[in-house]
Amino acid sequence: MLKGKVALVTGSTSGIGLAIARAYAKEGANVCLNGFGDKDAVEKERIGIEAEFGVRAIYSGADMSKGDQTEAMVEGAIKSLGSVDILVNNAGIQFVSPVEEFPPEKWEQIVAINLSSAFYATRAAIPGMKAKKWGRIINTASAHALIASPFKSAYVAAKHGIAGFTKSVALETATFGITANAICPGYVWTPLVEQQIPDTMAARGLTREQVINGLLLHAQPTKQFVTVDEVAALAVYLTGDMARSITGSIITIDGGWTAA
Ligand code: NAD
């Protein structure tokens, strides 16, 4: 389905982003990976994608908290692979703390990575998409783009921000064959969720079991974590021709969390 297309997925060395990049490669797209991680492990993943799916895969170690590096990553992908037809702004981090104790540097970092990086990558990718009259921009937002939880002020602010950004971009690009949408997962079992458990235990005075079952899964009526493959399948669907009228949408995949 995606033969001849190039997909750049930020934050794709782990979790949701890696599943999306692999799913696009499976559909025949050449991919640009991005994110942090052990150098050898990232290279193994990159080579593995090329071998398994018969596509080209490149890697950029650009830091998504830096606008100039983010723009250079997009330009580098266009140079190496010919275009960026599908851009998934997915890189993200979390930090859990009461707002009055929230470290300002953590606030700045979360806003930069979870929100501003999408601006820098999108502005670099849109001219090429407009020229080809085809493009897909998918922002990994969160259920926290629609509702809040305590102690996640920066994350909730950034995710609400990306929902608004998605809608603006969709309106600006609607007549150019470009769609822009936000995917809003509930809790997906990835390192990002696993790593916030100790801080949530401390902030709320709960045990690990109470955080997982009483707090995280309590939020989701299905009582199950969303899987990375489910999110990736939605990201694939949004690139298809049958999804060309879906734009400016904030799409939940959250086990019913935000319906409650
Ligand atoms: P993860 O920790 O598994 O992956 C995050 C990725 O972002 C990694 O590849 C990491 O290296 C990369 N990254 C972090 N900081 C970066 C930086 N400065 N520059 C470049 N790359 C950077 O987390 P995940 O759960 O897969 O999260 C992916 C996205 O999904 C995030 O935007 C997150 O907010 C969102 N999300 C996750 C969940 C969940 O429950 N896991 C739910 C809703 C939304």
Q: pLDDT tens track of the chain, all 260 residues? A: 999 999 999 999 999 999 999 999 999 999 999 999 999 999 999 999 999 999 999 999 999 999 999 999 999 999 999 999 999 999 999 999 999 999 999 999 999 999 999 999 999 999 999 999 999 999 999 999 999 999 999 999 999 999 999 999 999 999 999 999 999 999 999 988 898 899 889 989 999 999 999 888 998 999 999 999 999 999 999 999 999 999 999 999 999 999 98
Q: Which residues are catalytic?
A: 155
| Cα-to-centroid distance, 179 and ligand 1 (Å) | 22
**Residue 202 domain flag:** no
**Residue 49 domain flag:** yes
Sign of the alpha-carbon dihedral angle for 234, 235, 240, 244:
positive
- Contacts of residue 113, Cβ cutoff 8 Å, sequence gap at least 6: 64, 65, 91, 92, 93
- Tally the domains of the chain: 1
- Which atom of ligand 1 lies at the shortest distance from residue 63's CA? 19
- Which atom of ligand 1 lies at the shortest distance from residue 112's CA? 18
**Residue 40 domain flag:** yes
| Cα-to-centroid distance, 241 and ligand 1 (Å) | 27
Q: Which of 32, 39, 74, 192 has most ligand 1 atoms within 8 Å of its beta carbon, as the pocket-test mutant?
A: 192
**Residue 214 domain flag:** no
CATH code (residue 231): 3.40.50.720
| Cα-to-centroid distance, 52 and ligand 1 (Å) | 24
Q: What are phi and psi of 51, to 5 degrees?
A: -70, -45
**Residue 114 domain flag:** yes
**Residue 193 domain flag:** no
- pLDDT at position 215: 86
Q: Which of 8, 16, 215 has most ligand 1 atoms within 8 Å of its beta carbon, as the pocket-test mutant?
A: 16
State which residues form the domain around 127.
Answer: 6-186+226-254
- pLDDT at position 77: 98
**Residue 165 domain flag:** yes
- pLDDT at position 196: 87
DSSP 188: B
**Residue 206 domain flag:** no
Residue 123: name the closest of 165, 185, 60 by CA.
165
- pLDDT at position 99: 98
Instruction: Detail the DSSP E strand segments found in 84-218.
Output: 86-89, 135-140, 178-185
| Cα-to-centroid distance, 218 and ligand 1 (Å) | 22
- Which atom of ligand 1 lies at the shortest distance from residue 228's CA? 26
